[in-house]
Structure 1
């Protein structure tokens, strides 16, 4: 017999839900409505009211070549960081899943990066990749200028991508390991008896069976790459050199808070939101067709 909770007072459930509803309304829906209003109006930098301009803010950013460069840079950043993070996490999970000596220690060590705040990791990686000290400094002494993220945009973008991918390895590792451990051992043992090597068993047997987990992680990592890269870039490069590490989310901050173009930044935030929604829809529409849940 199913048991259900009944409240004698009709207002009690709403009273219990009120704190969460207030948080959602104040910190999610209210800023979203404000951004929509600012995106279709001209907000004065120092106040003084708004002027309705329709789609002029969107047309202005779409006509800006630098903005399209930022979009392409964001897409490249998301694809490379997602692929790198998931590939490394899957490799580590495959080694730990084999139950080799010391794997329990590694299970806890691999998760640690996920607990580190992005700005703190950015500061650490900024010192690790500093061209004047450490291993990189020694290499630069042999080949001067081979690595200089302060002046080379490709080097700076690579440094940020590696840091972002490293932060996501722990999160991806947890899900991949859990998915691999759910696969019956008899399947891997049967593949081993047929002469398949561990890498071949991973590609032909295990990876198709954990496709739902990989699909979930693909969506989460891409969304994170588009929306959660601000802290890293602000600490490590501040969008430089010459805007070569400026992605969409950082450009919104830079144009809005430093350039005082609130309306343009609001329009960019709406475009970013629609891009993430569209990307998720495309993945569910086409990529999910290759995923088998049974």
Structure 2
């Protein structure tokens, strides 16, 4: 009965050992999968956070750019208004200039007339002929009279000054207009916003799938872990029972040996009492008994 029980327990222990080894491999496999999908989920979480931060930055940049564009439009409109004002004023002055030209019968460019005056003045400095000097003075006085009466020089200088202002205002208006266009192009984050939103949705779907996989493998891990704990408990119980059986078997063997030794000792003592010849074995038994 004891031997049969021992064999049964040994078989159970071997079977449990094999099953425990198999479950440990499964547990390692499911744990690796579980950790892989958990890391995947966390990595995707980080990616989503980065994409959301980009959207926030785009929104902030767009808001700031909108304010900047509004300011630049005000500046552009200011210079455009200045251009319109200057054009009207220059047109009015050009009309006055044309009327003066007609009134004083000025056919030459006023700047050429001014050049003639300067040339005559130089000639007068070197002219020796009285008649020529008189003619030059007459011509000089006539030209100067036209300039004084018509005030054409001041008018033309004023028109030139306004033309320079007009050119500068147009330049400024164009510069602000180009900046507005450039800002609108640079900060047109709508397409980027849509693209990032789509990416975030895709990442969230992927994250949900990763989380589902993590939960799936976690459940399998816990299931196998519970089975393994149960089998380890069974294995410990079987090992305990097997050790008890082996211990009892060892005790029985020891008791059997002691019984044999006691019997042999008794036989040797009987021989000794009867003064029979003792063998070497008999002597060894007696010595062992004395010890």
**Taking structure 2 as the reference length, what is the TM-score of the superposition?**
0.21
Structure possessing the higher relative contact order (Cα contacts under 8 Å, 6 or more residues apart): 2
Query: Which has the larger Rg?
Result: 2
Larger helix percent = 2
- Normalising by structure 1, report the TM-score: 0.21
